[in-house]
Amino acid sequence: MILKNISRTVWLLSLVSLFTDTASEMLYPVMPIYLKSIGFSVVLIGVLEGIAEATAGLSKGYFGKKSDISGKRLPFVQIGYAFSAVSKPLMALFTYPIWIFFARTIDRLGKGIRTGARDALLSDESTPETKGKIFGFHRSMDTLGAVLGPLIALIYLYYHPEDFKTLFFIAFAPGVLAIAFTLIIKEKKKNLNTHKGKNSFFSFLRYWKESPKTYKKLVIGLLIFTLINSSDVFLLLKAKDAGLSDTEVIGVYIFYNLVYALFAFPLGIIADKTSLKKILLAGLLIFSGVYLGMALSHSLSTILFLFFLYGIYAAATEGISKAWISNIVNKNDVATAIGNFTGFQSIFTMLASSLTGLIWYTYGAATAFIITSIITLLIVVYILISVPAPNNRN
């Protein structure tokens, strides 16, 4: 049965992620427009997002380590999702820049608090043979929110143009549902050999020295990939250049997320039956092909097909990478290991968009996409040769 091994806890965590992502993605397309409408310049928007993402990135490692030290997962999950839910209406209450910075930082801090603990909880609910399935199912449900959120926003703004503030309050509703579901999750009692000692804000970085060699090799490859994997905004700009209207560009973004949501779960199951490594590398190869195609194609139908492939790439890599990491580290260090990786990933993501933007501006879009495609192929070769397959399959 396809849903076998999907426990009550996994279902609840997946629903929590679905409702949270619905709320967040409801606001994603309108956030820059709203900020401009209340007086934010492009520079100030960039500073805001930079600080917010840095907050999320740095806090993921710290709170992941803290979860491992305490041996508890659920309190971090509950607090993290509560912070993100509350931040939505806060963004609309006042328009003072300092208040907007506070509300946005609360949202990203919530993500930092919950990420490592939530993924460790998912790992606790699986076995080495079902990691791909569990993480894939969660990723499918999470990404379904990225389909529902923008759809709700489009429908609402169609009938109420430029009424952005109300949309922030509407986004609070799925956030409340997410909080409610976290309150009925029950964490299994475990006898963990918890770590002793102080946990300073940067103490999680010490894990890099203590971590298994395979973890280091894999994370190095994934972080180099992150450094050249820029924001989806650049792909959407390419779609815009191909002749799509603003509404159609949002539609393409929704289409990509729908493909992502539909394929993440079955690809997770396939990864468990074959190899997490094989599916991840296949996903990276698809990514390389998508970027090469974006560089060379100006056909609207081709670009739409490339977004379909891009959804499959995401489904084959996002959950699979975390499943792989959780299989190669000590079970007492899962939150720290994933928090460490996702923390660095957040920072590298910021750098990636800056690098791509600079290359695009200097040498053109095609050059930026071709460079990304070539470096991705080199990363595939590196992981293929240097990183042994996890112990679910060889």
Residue 357 lies in a domain: yes
Residue 195 lies in a domain: no
What is the reported pLDDT for 95?
A: 83
Q: CA-CA distance, 117 to 336, in Å (whole number)?
A: 8
- Flag residues of the chain having pLDDT under 50: 393-394
Q: CA-CA distance, 245 to 74, in Å (whole number)?
A: 44
Residue 199 lies in a domain: no
Query: How many domains in the chain?
Result: 1
Residue 236 lies in a domain: yes
What is the reported pLDDT for 232?
A: 83
Residue 198 lies in a domain: no
What is the reported pLDDT for 191?
A: 53
Range of the domain at 153: 8-187+207-386
- Which H or E run contains 307? helix 300-328
Q: How many CA atoms lie within 13 A of 217 on its CB side?
A: 17
**What does the block give as tokens for 13?**
């965590």
pTM attached to this predicted model? 0.87
Give start and end residues of each alpha helix (H) in 243-364. 246-273, 276-296, 300-328, 334-363
For the domain that residue 373 is a member of, what is the CATH number?
1.20.1250.20
What is the reported pLDDT for 394?
A: 40
What is the reported pLDDT for 197?
A: 52
What is the reported pLDDT for 391?
A: 63
Residue 3 lies in a domain: no
Q: CA-CA distance, 275 to 337, in Å (whole number)?
A: 21
Q: How many CA atoms lie within 13 A of 364 on its CB side?
A: 7
Q: CA-CA distance, 370 to 1, in Å (whole number)?
A: 42
Residue 202 lies in a domain: no
What is the reported pLDDT for 31?
A: 81
Using CA atoms, how far residue 344 sits from 25, 54, 57, 106, in Å, is 23, 9, 6, 19
Residue 200 lies in a domain: no
Collapsing DSSP to helix, strand or coil, 1 comes out as coil
What is the reported pLDDT for 393?
A: 46
